[in-house]
Structure 1
């Protein structure tokens, strides 16, 4: 292998080393979210009267955050509806039917509302929101796992591998292998882990 090829392979391995660390971090992060125990959460149910009509809030910085704030009479705390429940909100019904002075039943944990009902009507599907959130985290954690294996293989190789075909020698393009693997993994996971991608600030239809 020529010196130029050697230097090129060293640069490629540096890129894959970075890719390895990034893939591991992404995989571990979403694995943690996927299997984070939910049994430690003990929501509190309470009945209260709305002091004002719920307020839709949003904050724009590098990322956009959307949530809803609620205040109850004789309760100093501010309750919030955030993702993933925010995205599964029955938006039109909530706006038209939840008003100041209404008596509502909420289930909350640390001022975050997990469910909300009025006169027996639920305004989002709690279980569906939880399952969709877990599936999306599992999808993302598995999406990058094959890339970890490819990066490790590249880092273990001392020299640039070649493929001889019809008396011609070709470099094995690991960048193309990564791209193809990523696309195949995405398709396979999409078929086997159903979840709905909901853009931040939008509501499930």
Structure 2
């Protein structure tokens, strides 16, 4: 048994240390792209704070939007939360922790660890909060008058986002299974699904 266990140690260590793969070059250029300073410049945030959000707005500078990030293990997102209830619903990032920097307004943030302990905090401008990799977390703007603005950094060019409401109620899991899982009835599950589809 001991020798067999030792065979798995390198694989377990590799899983624990998993992140964006190391690259053997300074940077990766997609086929048919010209490399000049423009390749390394992202301009998608220039006017981002000009408009007050009507709903939650997330603008990403990740691999899909900014190909120069490929292999660099970093990405950003700017989040804008409307006043009086703007919420980024419970979600996870399977490939990275998130470091949120509040630049305007106030936010209630929280995450749940693997022991089902909830950690919450009320953030003010200038505060940072870390959401550990892969854990369910949320952000909420309870201020009745002011929107909130945050910038999030990720340790991956493609952190991924798994929305808990969408993954549970929007992917076709059978209503009976959901009703039993949440100790409720099928009609309640149908109402939750209907509400989710009308508020995408």
TM-score (norm 1): 0.25
Which structure has the bigger radius of gyration? 1
Q: Which has the higher strand share?
A: 2
Q: Which has the higher helix share?
A: 1
